[in-house]
Amino acid sequence: MTGLDPGVAARLKRNEAGLVPAVVQQHDTGEVLMLGWMDDEALHRTLTTGRATYWSRSRGEYWVKGETSGHVQHVKEVRLDCDGDTLLVKVDQTDVACHTGDRTCFDADLLLAT
Amino acid sequence: MTGLDPGVAARLKRNEAGLVPAVVQQHDTGEVLMLGWMDDEALHRTLTTGRATYWSRSRGEYWVKGETSGHVQHVKEVRLDCDGDTLLVKVDQTDVACHTGDRTCFDADLLLAT
């Protein structure tokens, strides 16, 4: 049981692990910062605390982004997609999003540019 | 076997179904249009044909976006994230991205705005 709004919970389509991918975007510049994963409780906390909160698949625990690094994400907007299986979280990212020190998790590895 | 560059294939971390989520973004406005899923072959086709190509989990087949609707995505840039488990595909979206007729798959369901 989580406190997630039942109407939202009913629209969520989770994967076999009970998770939904969350695309995280800087609200003003439009940069795609990272992709995280949320279960119902992480989404509930994100919606109610104003701090982006994920389920860490590697550590098996909730993870308030920036709790240790200080690189907090202040939540500005949350949207669910047409299939109910992906979230879009618009945030104000403090400093950098990536644990490597890059601004976004997509900065380092360019596969194609036209 | 696919024709995907072995160096790229070695960096990809696929889920248990052999897929990687692909965040799809309009290259100039920064709009997040949708999330699709790619296996090695879909990524190879996306990188080499210039048309965003996904694996349809519901239909169990490759899906060249816009093949039937005409709402083609011309690929501008492809990036892999720091963990190798998420792609960012910047495209030029013809008309609308969502099958509902909305511009993006995130237009209709706003969960939180601050």
Task: Pick the residue from chain A with its C-alpha nearest to B97.
Answer: A82
pLDDT computed for residue A1 by the predictor: 65
B99-105: list long-range contacts, CB under 8 Å, 24+ apart: B99/A82, B99/B69, B100/A82, B102/A82, B103/B31, B103/B33, B104/B31, B104/B32, B104/B33, B104/B34, B105/A81, B105/A82, B105/A83, B105/A86, B105/B33, B105/B34, B105/B35
pLDDT tens-digit map of B41-92 = 999 999 999 999 999 999 999 999 999 999 999 999 999 999 999 999 999 9
ipTM of the complex: 0.96
Mean pLDDT of A91-112: 97
At residue B37, what are phi and psi to the nearest 5 degrees?
A: -125, 140
The pLDDT confidence band at residue A94, using thresholds 50, 70 and 90, is very high
Q: pLDDT for B39-54, tens place per residue?
A: 999 999 999 999 999 9
Cα–Cα distance, A81 to B99 (Å, whole number): 11
Residue of B24, B80, B92, B112 to mutate, interface with A, max A Cβ within 10 Å: B112
Contact call for B106 and A31, based on CB within 8 A: no
CB-based contact B105 A82, cutoff 8 Å? yes
> How many Cα atoms are found within 13 Å in the side-chain-facing hemisphere of A8?
22
> What pTM was computed for the model?
0.97
Which chain B residues are closer than 8 Å to A107 by Cβ? 79
What are the tens digits of pLDDT across the range B14-25? 999 999 999 999
Chain B residue numbers with beta carbons less than 8 Å from the beta carbon of A32 are 23, 25, 32, 88
